RNA sequence: GCCUUGGUGGCGGAAUUGGUAGACGCGCUGGAUUCAAAAUCCAGUUCUUUCGAGAGUGUGGGUUCGAUUCCCACCCAAGGUACCA
């Protein structure tokens, strides 16, 4: 039937088109990137997802679509583009699910990944899937373990300002001991000579080296939940108890693997100036690192052996000290507390252990603390200074102790007022009867012996000098950044390639034995003795003879032949979520390499990420740790660049638009939005798929969905039931999740891609409302129609003007990541060309290329219809030509006192005077002036005329 | 609390160096087509209005011939705040 056939071709059949081109790309490996090419390289990376059980919702692809548009654009611009994707597949939700169901996390993870892949494939991304990585794959985490071993085998030399092999440190110990070394290390390292070093036992040597290594064991404070037998994140704690089950949580010290990221504090700060990342993100890293200059001051304690070290940014105010405050967790607290105060102090310490750090920081209104009964000695006046404890001092910041200067610090001031402690005034001519005076710049110091009369800067210098003379202080730069805890008491993470020898000292597995694979366990919970889940593994001991090594049971290990045997129990902790994501961007360059983390050729070709797209919530986690690892790999000659990503864009969150029906509190009635009035009602979530574009509820479907309301009476308005709408986080529990699959099915991937971009600026968060998608879908239909008639005719001036206006705008928009305005531009362009009845291939061809990064499937199809036989993916981007846009006249807006009243069309080559003359003579002007004489006439040629008066 | 971002019609948003506020789209209203509907097309749509005009970009001030845009103070919402990823 020829009639039907013709009609078929007339219609935009997105399902058929999208399937066709996705198959084509896959079959032809259109987007496979080569590790060498004559073209310049460009590396576009989107942060890889954690494959959760819920699947993708429309919020996830936002950043991927933006990245994909940019990657496709760069191909049109002649670049060899690397655009990979993978999965951050270790993580807590899979483990939680395993605990609940007993299913191995590897199985659920595999299922989730397959689902993600299906969903991603539907959207038509130009990923090079041959490079996929999964952090939970042994082939991948082999190299995570390898980096860990490199960190263990390195120390930070402050003299060369970089990480070096531990062997260079040992050589120096052998030569000079540790007296001449400038290293970043633990604070409690004793001094030793070369001779002493040589005489140390192996165990002693290993213990000392551990204090220098870039990853090391230390006691760190954690949120311990005894009932769950696990450590909790701050956000798993609500009001001091665990979110799950409401159990008590306490602060507790545990031995943990740590990363000496503090060694890189200054370089992480300095590096920010060299990368094009959003300023807010840089700000949060800067604040996180928290550099402050000041002094470290040592206070002796009266009648007790020991001293208190504090860090202060205001050594100039040292004569204003009237008390000291220690964090309740400070190690000296139990030592210095007098018997009379013991009970009160212990009670306070216990109470504080129940509060989270965040709670303590956020709560500035409640003032609490206890006097220890002990006194310190002021370094200069030798007067006694009472020592208090207070939870506003955090153990993890600085030294966990402050010298309190109430006249100069508001928190100290409030504390002193509350507990009736003296507030000596050390500022010249400043009233401190109401509040502390923290303005450094605008006063001079008084009542301060040798500091009297000095302004802030001079007083700081002088105070430090005097402290140095006493041997009780020195100038110091302090960082808020702390070493990162790298152990997790979890199952579903990378095992540490570590066993413990007879002395209990950690030993690294040799590279040939990597990866050390995650063992099977029966239960994913902590053991009965409170050990991490790996404690449940039957075989988790390392047994090695020479080049032969394997994982065995404890019995096998104990009974094995002792001659030449090495090994011991393996580490029970696993690595944290950020371990696998800290170098994945490099691994994509050469993901199947089994000999090395990646080849020199690959890393020297791709070097670094040119554009990285991801959420701002990773600002101080993933993005700081990755920069740290990259700098370390750089120091050790493994990576050629100090920073892994030149440019970074944060995509915003897509929120959901929840729908509510109003259920009467007493009666079994639900009211439409407009008829609620002042009735007492409860809002009840309705699934957004049951609501149409006009907020009208499908009542029958709703009744099937919520059988408990099937019998309810629905009070309508105008015969319809209208829901109320509210923007909330997109989440299953709020029934506002929208799946991209459904959208692709109903409107197609190209519509989804366009609509995600059309919603608003990439960086901002914005609500999703499926109703609006008909707009971009309608645009694609119009675009399709525009290509129904095409020929080799010459384009008109109007055609060319529309085309080149569009080229200019779209190119600018892509470069500025302003994708939403591009979509509008396409709509305007197609509306104009349709009105112009444009049929010229010389216009339609370039337009298809412009559209193709955004809507690649329809673009390929139209490109083919135009007679091309090659994929559009590598077609050259159209060149903008100014000459088609030149205008000779302008619609001048004429405003009165800054308010536009009417426009006049005038030639653009008029002078200021000519414009003024013409405008003032215009009848509309005369009408608006109504006989008044203007005070002033502002003429900006090419822009505006403003008449004042 | 602190740091960061944002606030413009009924809704998403546009306005690239201070120069025509509301582009584009949704929704809504009216019309064409249709037996009817869907789809499509056309017109209108910031608010108030005595139809002359007036007001208007979270609130209150300021700078300027002119402010969504710059400055000050405040209000509200979202993200982060070290073991969610």
The mean pLDDT of chain A is 89
The pairing of beta strand A162-165 with beta strand A154-157 = antiparallel
How far out from the chain centre does Cα A890 lie?
A: 47
CB within 7 A of strand B (chain A, 813-852): 813, 818, 820-821, 823-824, 827-828, 831
H or E stretch at A912: helix A912-921
How far does the CA of A616 sit from the C1' of B71, in Å? Answer: 29
Mean pLDDT over residues A905-914, rounded?
85
Higher-confidence residue of A511 and A658: namely A511
What b/e sequence results for A77-86 when a residue is b if at least 16 CB atoms lie within 10 Å of its CB, and e otherwise? eebbbbbbbb
How far does the CA of A766 sit from the C1' of B8, in Å? Answer: 15
- Segment among A794-798, A853-857, A866-870, A923-927 with least mean pLDDT: A923-927
By C1' distance from the Cα of A895, the closest nucleotide is B20
CB within 7 A of strand B (chain A, 683-712): 693-694
* Per-residue model confidence as pLDDT tens digits over A220-230: 878 888 887 77
* Residue A149 approaches strand B within 7 Å at CB: no
Under 8 Å between Cβ of A136 and A48: no
Backbone φ and ψ for A531, nearest 5 degrees, come out as -85, 160
Mean pLDDT over residues A323-331, rounded?
90
Which residues have C-beta within 8 Å of that of residue A942, sequence separation ≥ 6?
A: A890, A908
- Tell me the sheet residues that pair with A609: A645
- Tell me the sheet residues that pair with A896: A899, A947
* Residue A903 approaches strand B within 7 Å at CB: yes
How far does the CA of A234 sit from the C1' of B82, in Å? Answer: 9
Higher-confidence residue of A815 and A771: namely A815
* Residue A802 approaches strand B within 7 Å at CB: no
By C1' distance from the Cα of A397, the closest nucleotide is B82
Q: Alpha-carbon distance A872 to A875, whole Å?
A: 5
DSSP string, A317-339: GGGG--EEEE-TT-TTHHHH--H
How far does the CA of A614 sit from the C1' of B84, in Å? Answer: 16
* Per-residue model confidence as pLDDT tens digits over A222-259: 888 888 777 887 777 776 778 777 888 887 888 999 99
> What sections of A439-491 are H helices per DSSP?
456-470
* Residue A497 approaches strand B within 7 Å at CB: no
Supply the Cα-derived Rg of chain A in whole angstroms.
35
Backbone φ and ψ for A505, nearest 5 degrees, come out as -95, 140
Q: Is A760 left (phi over 0), alpha (psi -120 to 50) or beta?
A: left
Residue A404 to residues A308, A415, A416, A627, A634, Cα–Cα distance (Å): 13, 9, 9, 36, 42
Q: Which two tokens stand for residue A828?
A: 């305007």
Examine the pLDDT at A5 and tell me if it is beyond 50: no
**Model confidence at A114, in pLDDT bands (50, 70, 90)?**
very high
Mean pLDDT over residues A392-402, rounded?
85
Q: Alpha-carbon distance A183 to A189, whole Å?
A: 11
Share of chain A above pLDDT 70, in %: 99
* Residue A279 approaches strand B within 7 Å at CB: yes
By C1' distance from the Cα of A486, the closest nucleotide is B83
Tell the residue number behind the tokens 């009744």, with chain if given.
A703
CB within 7 A of strand B (chain A, 442-481): 480-481
Positive or negative, the CA dihedral A762, A764, A766, A772 is negative
How far does the CA of A420 sit from the C1' of B29, in Å? Answer: 72
- How high is the pLDDT of residue A750? 96
CB within 7 A of strand B (chain A, 344-363): 357-358, 361-362
How far out from the chain centre does Cα A261 lie?
A: 18
Our CA angle for A101, A107, A112, nearest 5°, is 95
By C1' distance from the Cα of A828, the closest nucleotide is B24
Beta-carbon count within 10 A of A465 CB? 14
Q: Which of these, A583, A647, A585, lies nearest to A66 by C-alpha position?
A: A647
Under 8 Å between Cβ of A183 and A169: yes
* Per-residue model confidence as pLDDT tens digits over A493-532: 999 999 999 999 999 999 999 999 999 998 898 888 888 9
Tell the residue number behind the tokens 């414009």, with chain if given.
A915
Q: Which two tokens stand for residue A845?
A: 């061809």
* Residue A918 approaches strand B within 7 Å at CB: no
Q: Which of these, A742, A746, A769, lies nearest to A756 by C-alpha position?
A: A769
Under 8 Å between Cβ of A894 and A789: no
Positive or negative, the CA dihedral A922, A928, A933, A938 is negative
* Residue A729 approaches strand B within 7 Å at CB: yes
Sheet holding A215-225, edge to edge: A230-231, A215-225, A250-259, A484-485
Q: Alpha-carbon distance A195 to A234, whole Å?
A: 47
Under 8 Å between Cβ of A316 and A405: no
* Residue A482 approaches strand B within 7 Å at CB: yes
* Per-residue model confidence as pLDDT tens digits over A20-72: 999 999 999 999 999 989 999 999 999 999 998 888 888 889 999 999 999 99
- Segment among A163-177, A309-323, A625-639 with least mean pLDDT: A309-323
State which residue has its Cα closest to the C1' atom of B81: A358
By C1' distance from the Cα of A483, the closest nucleotide is B82
- How high is the pLDDT of residue A7? 40
* Per-residue model confidence as pLDDT tens digits over A856-892: 999 999 999 999 999 999 999 999 999 998 888 888 8
* Residue A758 approaches strand B within 7 Å at CB: yes
* Residue A626 approaches strand B within 7 Å at CB: no
CB within 7 A of strand B (chain A, 533-592): 576-577, 581
Share of chain A above pLDDT 90, in %: 56
Higher-confidence residue of A912 and A753: namely A753
ipTM confidence score: 0.93
How far does the CA of A835 sit from the C1' of B39, in Å? Answer: 20
Examine the pLDDT at A6 and tell me if it is beyond 90: no
Tell the residue number behind the tokens 């409401």, with chain if given.
A246
Mean pLDDT over residues A83-95, rounded?
92
**Model confidence at A544, in pLDDT bands (50, 70, 90)?**
very high
Alpha-carbon torsion, ordered A659, A662, A663, A667, to 10 deg: -160
- How high is the pLDDT of residue A8? 42
How far does the CA of A694 sit from the C1' of B27, in Å? Answer: 7
* Residue A911 approaches strand B within 7 Å at CB: no
Examine the pLDDT at A442 and tell me if it is beyond 80: no
By C1' distance from the Cα of A489, the closest nucleotide is B83
Residue A367 to residues A250, A375, A403, A688, A917, Cα–Cα distance (Å): 21, 21, 17, 47, 72
Q: Which of these, A700, A679, A677, A680, lies nearest to A690 by C-alpha position?
A: A700
How far does the CA of A542 sit from the C1' of B73, in Å? Answer: 66
Examine the pLDDT at A930 and tell me if it is beyond 80: no
Q: Alpha-carbon distance A342 to A74, whole Å?
A: 69
- How high is the pLDDT of residue A394? 85
DSSP letter assigned to residue A273 = G
Highest mean pLDDT pick, A80-89, A92-101, A334-343, A461-470 = A80-89
**Model confidence at A773, in pLDDT bands (50, 70, 90)?**
very high
- How high is the pLDDT of residue A1? 30
Q: Alpha-carbon distance A217 to A367, whole Å?
A: 35
Examine the pLDDT at A2 and tell me if it is beyond 80: no
Tell the residue number behind the tokens 């007083």, with chain if given.
A459
Query: HSE on the CB side for A513, CA within 13 Å?
Result: 21
SS3 A2: helix
* Residue A679 approaches strand B within 7 Å at CB: no
Domains of chain A: 31-139+577-651 (3.40.50.620), 149-266+485-569 (no CATH), 301-352+362-473 (3.90.740.10), 654-728 (no CATH), 747-884 (1.10.730.10), 889-948 (3.10.20.590)
Spell out the SS3 assignment of A234-256: HHHEECCEECCCCCECEEEEEEE
State which residue has its Cα closest to the C1' atom of B67: A898
- How high is the pLDDT of residue A907? 86
What b/e sequence results for A354-386 when a residue is b if at least 16 CB atoms lie within 10 Å of its CB, and e otherwise? ebbbeebeeeeeebbbbbbbbbbbbbbeeeebb
- How high is the pLDDT of residue A387? 94
Strand B nucleotides, any atom under 7 Å from protein beta carbons: they are 1, 3-6, 11-16, 19-21, 23-28, 39-41, 55, 65-67, 78-85
- Segment among A137-151, A372-386, A557-571, A887-901 with least mean pLDDT: A887-901
Q: Which of these, A905, A882, A878, A884, lies nearest to A894 by C-alpha position?
A: A905
Residue A813 to residues A120, A648, A778, A858, Cα–Cα distance (Å): 25, 17, 22, 21
**Model confidence at A9, in pLDDT bands (50, 70, 90)?**
low
Under 8 Å between Cβ of A40 and A79: yes
SS3 A678: coil
Polymer length of chain A? 949
């Amino acid at each position: 039937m020829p009639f039907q056939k013709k009609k078929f071709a007339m219609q935009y059949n997105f399902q058929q088109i999208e399937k066709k081109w996705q198959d084509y790309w896959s079959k032809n490996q259109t987007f496979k990137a080569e590790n060498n090419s004559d073209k310049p390289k460009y590396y576009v990376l989107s942060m890889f997802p954690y494959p959760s059980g819920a699947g993708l919702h429309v919020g996830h692809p936002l950043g991927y679509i933006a990245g994909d548009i940019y990657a496709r654009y760069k191909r049109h611009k002649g670049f060899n583009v690397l655009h990979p994707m993978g999965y951050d597949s270790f993580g807590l939700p899979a483990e939680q699910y395993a605990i609940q169901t007993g299913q191995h996390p590897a199985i659920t993870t595999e299922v989730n990944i397959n689902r993600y892949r299906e969903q991603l494939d539907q959207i038509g991304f130009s990923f090079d899937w041959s490079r996929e990585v999964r952090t939970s794959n042994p082939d991948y985490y082999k190299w995570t373990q390898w980096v860990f071993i490199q960190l263990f085998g390195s120390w930070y030399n402050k003299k060369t300002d970089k990480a070096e092999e531990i062997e260079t440190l040992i050589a120096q110990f052998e030569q000079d001991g540790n007296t001449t070394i400038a290293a970043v290390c633990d604070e409690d390292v004793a001094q030793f000579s070369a001779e002493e070093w040589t005489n140390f036992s192996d165990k002693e040597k290993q213990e000392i080296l551990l204090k220098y290594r870039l990853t090391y064991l230390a006691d760190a404070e954690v949120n311990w939940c005894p009932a769950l037998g696990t450590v909790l994140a701050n956000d798993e704690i609500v009001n001091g108890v665990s979110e799950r089950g409401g159990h008590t949580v306490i602060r507790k010290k545990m031995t943990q693997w740590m990363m000496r990221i503090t060694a890189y504090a200054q370089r992480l700060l300095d590096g920010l100036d060299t990368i094009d990342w959003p300023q807010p993100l840089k700000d949060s890293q800067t604040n996180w690192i928290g550099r402050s200059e000041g002094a470290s001051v040592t206070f002796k304690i009266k009648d007790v052996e020991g001293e208190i070290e504090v860090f202060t940014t205001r050594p100039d105010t040292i004569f204003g000290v009237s008390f000291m405050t220690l964090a309740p967790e400070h190690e000296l607290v139990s030592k210095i507390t007098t018997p009379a105060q013991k009970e009160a102090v212990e009670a306070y310490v216990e109470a504080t252990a129940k509060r989270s750090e965040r709670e303590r920081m956020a709560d500035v209104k409640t003032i609490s603390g206890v006097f220890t009964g002990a006194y310190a000695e002021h370094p200069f006046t030798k007067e006694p200074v009472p020592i208090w404890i207070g939870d506003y001092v955090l153990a993890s910041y600085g030294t966990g102790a402050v010298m309190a200067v109430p006249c100069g610090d508001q928190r100290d001031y409030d504390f002193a007022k509350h507990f009736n402690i003296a507030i000596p005034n050390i500022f010249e001519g400043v009233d401190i009867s109401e509040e502390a005076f923290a303005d450094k710049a605008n006063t001079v110091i008084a009542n301060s012996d040798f500091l009297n009369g000095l302004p802030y800067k001079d007083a700081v210098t002088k105070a430090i000098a005097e402290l140095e003379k006493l041997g009780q202080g020195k100038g110091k730069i302090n960082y808020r950044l702390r070493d990162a805890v790298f152990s997790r008491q979890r199952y579903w993470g990378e095992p540490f390639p570590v066993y413990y020898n007879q002395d209990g000292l950690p030993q690294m597995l040799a590279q040939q034995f990597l990866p050390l694979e995650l063992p099977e366990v029966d239960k994913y919970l902590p053991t009965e003795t409170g050990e991490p889940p790996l404690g449940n593994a039957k075989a988790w001991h390392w047994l090695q003879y020479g080049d032969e090594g394997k994982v065995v049971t404890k019995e096998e290990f104990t009974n094995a032949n002792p001659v030449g045997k090495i090994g011991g129990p393996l580490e029970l902790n696993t690595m944290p979520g950020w371990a696998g994501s800290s170098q994945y961007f490099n691994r994509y360059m050469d993901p199947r390499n089994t000999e090395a983390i990646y080849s020199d050729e690959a890393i020297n070709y791709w070097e670094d990420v040119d554009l990285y797209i991801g959420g701002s919530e990773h600002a101080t986690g993933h993005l700081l740790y990755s920069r740290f690892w990259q700098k370390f790999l750089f120091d050790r000659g493994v990576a050629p660049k100090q920073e892994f990503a030149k440019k970074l864009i944060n995509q915003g969150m897509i929120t959901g638009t929840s729908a509510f029906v109003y259920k009467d509190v007493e009666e079994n009635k639900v009211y439409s939005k407009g008829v609620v009035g002042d009735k007492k009602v409860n809002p009840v979530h309705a699934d957004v798929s049951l609501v149409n574009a006009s907020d009208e509820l499908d009542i029958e479907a709703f009744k099937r969905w919520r059988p408990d309301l099937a019998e309810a009476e629905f009070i309508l308005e105008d015969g319809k039931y209208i829901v109320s709408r509210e923007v909330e986080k997109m989440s299953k529990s709020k029934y506002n999740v929208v799946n991209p699959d459904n959208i692709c099915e109903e409107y197609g991937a190209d519509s989804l891609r366009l609509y995600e971009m059309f919603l608003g600026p990439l960086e901002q968060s914005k609500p999703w409302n499926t109703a609006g998608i008909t707009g971009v879908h309608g645009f694609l239909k119009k675009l399709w129609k525009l290509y129904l008639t095409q020929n080799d005719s010459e384009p008109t001036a109007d055609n060319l003007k529309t085309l080149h206006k569009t080229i200019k705008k779209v190119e600018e928009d892509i470069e500025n990541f302003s994708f939403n305005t591009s979509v509008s531009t396409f709509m305007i362009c197609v509306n104009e060309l349709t009105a112009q009845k444009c049929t010229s291939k010389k216009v339609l061809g370039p337009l298809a290329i412009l559209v193709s990064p955004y809507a690649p499937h329809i673009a390929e199809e139209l490109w083919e219809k135009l007679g091309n036989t090659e994929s559009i993916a590598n077609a050259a981007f159209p060149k903008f030509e100014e000459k088609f846009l030149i205008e000779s006249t302008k619609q001048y807006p004429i405003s009165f006192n800054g308010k536009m009243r009417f426009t006049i069309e005038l030639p653009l080559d008029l002078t200021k005077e000519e414009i003024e003359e013409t405008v003032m003579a215009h009848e509309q002007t005369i009408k608006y002036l109504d006989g008044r004489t203007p005070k002033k006439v502002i003429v900006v040629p090419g822009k505006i005329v403003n008449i004042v008066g």
